[in-house]
Structure formats: structure tokens, C-alpha cells
Structure 1
Amino acid sequence: MSVRVRAARLRALLLTLVAFLVVAGTATGCGPGDDRPRIVVTTNILGDITREIVGGEAEVSVLMKPNADPHSFGLSAVQAAELENADLVVHNGLGLEENVTRHVEAARDSGVATFAAGEAADPLTFQADEEGGPGDGAGAPDPHFWTDPDRVRKVAGLITDRIVEHVDGVDEKAVRGNAERYDGELAALSTWMEKSFAAIDEGRRALVTNHHVFGYLADRFGFRVIGAVIPSGTTLASPSSSDLRSLTRAMEKADVRTVFADSSQPTRLADVLRREMGGDVNVVPLYSESLTEKGEGAGTYLEMMRANTSAMTEGLTGN
């Protein structure tokens, strides 16, 4: 190989390295002059909650994009590096971020402070369906605590404490002031949801969903969980024909004709159930596991929960 060729290849390698470092600096927000403390959050729901508490006191980086599935989203090498360079990592835990857990554990092992929100929310366990059997994962911890706003209030308070304890450079008074304001908004949300659901007759408070995601909401507001098209707590599972038959029988017995399908997932499975029951099924989309882009219906946690409450109330009352 000639000297000229070797020199050309070396220049190309150096240019590639420089480009990577520029992209990495842009992606992580660690460019020149940005010396604010950094909090990295795995899911966009927790990211919104954390940003409400932090305000402008720290940089908050959210790994999960809008409309993504927390069970299946993964990280780039740059995002994985963000975790290990954070002052604090906030994650859901309880098996929700199935492809991200090992990266969070690596960050914790390297000395980064981490907070598992789901584990701190008095987690429930997945329960057996009314008619369809225990389903996959019955007895395992349910990670979907955010469908109960009162548990979110508890978690928000604990996130506040972790920020004050582990993130140097933040103004504690400002952070706690933000947290107090947001707690009031969460309390108002919980009260509004309770009043809204009061319009649904007790006998019609029955939920069928794409997969098991509303156990906390059911526990908090007095709903029955009839079953799920996917009898599991994760979207990565698949229904069998026997699962669909069992769910169809349960719905007919309970006189339930409304299925709530995740808006970020195709409604194909709910459509299959509609065909199984002769077409007389109302499929109502909900925002269950991810926020949307701003202006698309569920840009914040508060907006998501209000939209879901209105859709559930309308879907179960026929109004």
C-alpha cells in the first residue's frame, strides 16, 4: 500500500471520528457551555413528570421517543453512554423497559444514582382474568403504575427527593416549588377522574384492552378487568386462538362490547376480536404506554390521562 493511500485512509478515519464526536455531543446536549447537571429518563411518561419537577434547574434527557413502545424500544450507543454520564437516571423498572434494563444496571454499577419509579409505587401484581384464566405473568409485578394518578403523586414526590439528594447544582427551593405545584395538578386530575367515572354505572365498569395495562386504574376507580386480547403485561406476547375464544366467552358473559386498544399500536388484534364476535364490538383507542408528540392528543401525562378518562367514559356509557 502506497504512502498516499495510507494517508488518505488515515484522513478518512479522523474525519469519521470527528463526525461521531460532533453527533454524540449534539445528541447528549453536552456541547460547549452546557455544564448543567444531567438527568436521564427512560420513558417519555416519566420524562414529562420529571421535567415538570426539574423546570430549568437541570438538563433532562428522555430516551424513549413519542409514540414508542416501552416494551420494545432500544438504545443507540450514544444513548447508552448518556446513562453512564448522568447525575441521576430515572427509570420505570419492574420489567417495563425490556431492552434497556441492562444499560440502566450498567450505569448503576458504574456509580450513577438510579431511581426505579415502579418499584416505589406500591406495585400491584398481574391478576387472573375473570374468565380467561391467569394469562401470562399472573402474580408478577405490574409496571403500569401511572394509570393511577395517586401513585404518580407518590412517585413524583420521591423523584423530587432524589433530585435534591443526588443532582448537585440544582436550587432545592425551586425544585420543591415545582413539585408542589405539580402535586396540586395531579390531585386535581385524580378528583376529576373520579367524578368523570361516576357517570358509568357500576355494572358497566368492565375493561377489555389490547394487553393488561390498566390494572392500577381499575384498582383505584373500581373497574373490573374482564381480559385482554393479549393475555400478558407486555406487547411482545401474542394471542392464541384459544386466548381469543376465552376472551370472547368472557365478554359475552359480561355483556361487554367495548375494547380499548393502545393508540400507538395497530388495532389489528382488536379487529380480529371484532370479527370473532360478529362485528358488534366498539374499538376505542387510548394512550396507554406512551405520550404523543405535542399537539397530537397526549403530549403530557396530564393530557394523556384526561383524554383516556373522557374516551373510557364515553365508550362505556355510549354518550
Structure 2
Amino acid sequence: MRRPATTRAITRATTLAAAALVAAGSLSACAVGGSDDGPLVVVSTNILGDVVENLVGDEVEVMTLMKPDADPHSFEISAQEAARLRSADLVVSNGLGLEEGLQQHLDAAADEDVPTFVAGDVIEVLEYAEGDAAGTPDSHFWTDPARVLDVVDALAPVLADLDGVDAGVVEEQAADYRAEVEQVDAEMTESFASIPAERRALVTNHHVFGYLADRFDFEVVGAVIPGGTTLAAPSASDLADLVGAVEETGVPTIFAESSSPDRLVQALASEADVHVDVVELFTESLTAPDGGAPDYLTMMRVNTERITDGLSA
């Protein structure tokens, strides 16, 4: 017996809907499977996250734990992020005491035999020269692009060796990115050379420019926070010593980091018996896309321009 048209229509619609659900399920399964089957690289800081993404392209999933504009010394992660960290195919971290708020999770992953790459292990490390941190490793190596090149050279083969990764793609990406970092290094060298010798002095929130100073021949006059971490606090004598240093050197500019409040730097500027400008730099964190420093290369170019302008005026 021939079914009524309405019945046929309902049956056909039901069949199409079922087919659509099956197709959607298949597509979803492919998407999930593609994510699960590919390697996962978890990176602690957003500066290193940007470097890793430039090296691997689409070859791996890169999960960066540190959000834009965060402080690497104190940012926290969720329980879900901690679980993914422990299940990663590779964990990339800065090391040298930088990730103070994250260290327990990094240690837990290492204890569970998650493969790790610590950038601080592959560079020539400087030590802090003064303050409570004197004699301990300086973790802010990325202010010297030559040391970032050392990290690129050591990290690229590790990424290329991950299961499921096309090593040739990583090698090509690494060569391209290396050339870009070298270009920024050359631009910094040329720009800083224009600063008069008597003006090549840096005062900032805390000691973050040791590597830049070592590489490009600056003097670090002092830091409002006299240590390697933004978790430290300056004493009255620290501020008094800095006021004396600013007055003695006559530096025209103090640099405030974007990852830390600059009110202490503003207070120092108002205390010194000279006119001192306060200029913001991007030093410990990248920003959101519209924040001025969305990637490492841009961050270094912006900082170079601001340091040069601030000390040449």
C-alpha cells in the first residue's frame, strides 16, 4: 500500500536528519581524533610560546599557559591546564627560577616522566650582580636575541623529533625564524649605537635588562625592585640609593615594565632632583593582538625604539 505524502515526507526528513547526525558525528570524530593523534607541546610563558609556534607551524598543537599581559613570576593555571601539562608530549619552560607560581606543576610533570625542554639549560647564563638575588641566575635571557637564537638552535631538533611531526617542515620554519631574529638583532645593534656613551644607563622596575646590557654595552644603574622577581618589594634605602644614582648619572628616562605597576617608578622620578621621564617597555610578557607587543619580534623592536628615543633625548 502506498503511504500518504505526509508520512513519506516525515520519513524522508527523519532519514536525512539521521544521516546528518552520522555525518556530523564523523566530522566531529575526525576533528577530535586529529587533535588527540597529534603531539601536544605545552609552553610555560607566552614569549617562549610565540617562539615555539614559529618553529612548528601547524605540525603540533601548542598550548601556552601564560596569558597575554601576565606576570611570569606569579601567574596561575587551572586544574584542567595542569592535567594537560602532565599529559603533554613535550613541556617547554624558561627555567632559571622565572616561573615561580608554576614550578610545582612543572615539577609534577617531570616526576611523571613528561619530556621537558628548559631554555635556561641551553644558554650562557648571567647572574644578578646586586640585591637579594645577587649570585643567582638571571632568568630574563630573551632581552638578548642572540640567546634566543641559542634556544632556537637547541629546541628545533627536539620539536622535529616528536612523533607525527614532519622534521623537514620544522627545519624550514626554524631557518626562517632564525633569519628574522638575526634581523632584529642587527636592528637593535644599529639603533643602540646611536645612543651617546654617557646616556647608556638603564633604570627599571626590577632587574630584567642584564642580558641586554651585557650584549649591547649598557650600564644597569639600578632597579626600583632590587631583585629578579616582581614579587620582591623595595625598601626605603633601596629607593634612596636609586635617587642618588639617577641624580649622579643624569639619566633622562626610567623604564617601567608593562607586566608591573609603574607607580614606584613614578614615585622615584618625583623624588629625584632632575627631570626624569617614565617610559613603558614590554619586557616579561607579550600582549593581546591590539596591545602593542603581540609577538617576540615586535616586542623587541618596540622596546629598542623606546629605549633609543628615551636615552637619546
Judge same fold: TM > 0.5, yes or no. yes
Matched, 1:122 2:129: no
1:146 is matched with 142
Looking at structure 1, the residues matched to 32 and 229 of structure 2 have their Cα atoms a distance apart, in angstroms, of 37
Q: Partner of 2:139: helix, strand, or coil?
A: coil
Cα deviation code 1:165-211 (max 9, x no counterpart) = 3x210000000100000000011110110001111011110000100
| Equivalent residues in 2 for 1:141-290, closer than 5 Å | 141-165=137-161, 167-278=162-273, 280-290=275-285
Distance in 1 of aligned mates of 2:94 and 2:136? 15
Aligned counterparts of 2:217 and 2:60: Cα–Cα separation in 1: 39
What is the aligned partner in structure 2 of residue 107 from structure 1? Answer: 109
What's the % identity of the aligned pairs? Answer: 53
Please report how far the alpha carbon of residue 254 of structure 1 lies from its aligned counterpart in structure 2 after TM superposition. 1.3
More displaced, 137-146 or 154-163? Answer: 154-163
The separation in 1 between residues aligned to 2:288 and 2:248, in whole angstroms, is: 39
Task: Report the alpha carbon displacement of residue 164 of structure 1 after superposing the two structures with TM.
Answer: 2.1
1:302 aligns with 2:304: no
Question: SS of the counterpart of 2:285?
Answer: coil
Kindly state the Cα deviation for residue 264 of structure 1 after the two structures are TM-superposed: 2.6
- Structure 2 gap segments, 5+ residues each: 1-30
Larger Cα-atom Rg: 2
Residue 41 in structure 1 maps to residue 34 in structure 2: no
CA contact (8 A) 2:254 2:278 kept: yes
So what's the TM-score if we normalise by structure 2?
0.88
Aligned residues: 282
Deviations 1:195-251, CA, capped at 9 Å, x for gaps: 011110111100001000010000000000000011111000011111000111111
SS in 1 for 2:125: coil
Consecutive unaligned residues of structure 1, counting only runs of 5 or more, are: 1-29, 128-133
- 1:92-132 CA-to-partner distances (Å, cap 9, x unmatched) read 011100011111111111111101102211110011xxxxx
In structure 2, the partner of 1:20 is none
Distance 1:152 1:112 in 2: 24
TM-score (norm 1): 0.86
Contact 2:69 2:285 in 1 (8 A): yes
State whether residues 246 and 272 of structure 2, in contact with CA within 8 Å, keep that contact through their aligned partners in structure 1: no
2:288 to 293, 301, 316: 293
Q: Is 1:74 matched up with 2:76?
A: yes
Matched, 1:91 2:93: yes
Does the CA-based 8 Å contact 2:70-2:285 persist in structure 1? yes
RMSD: 1.2
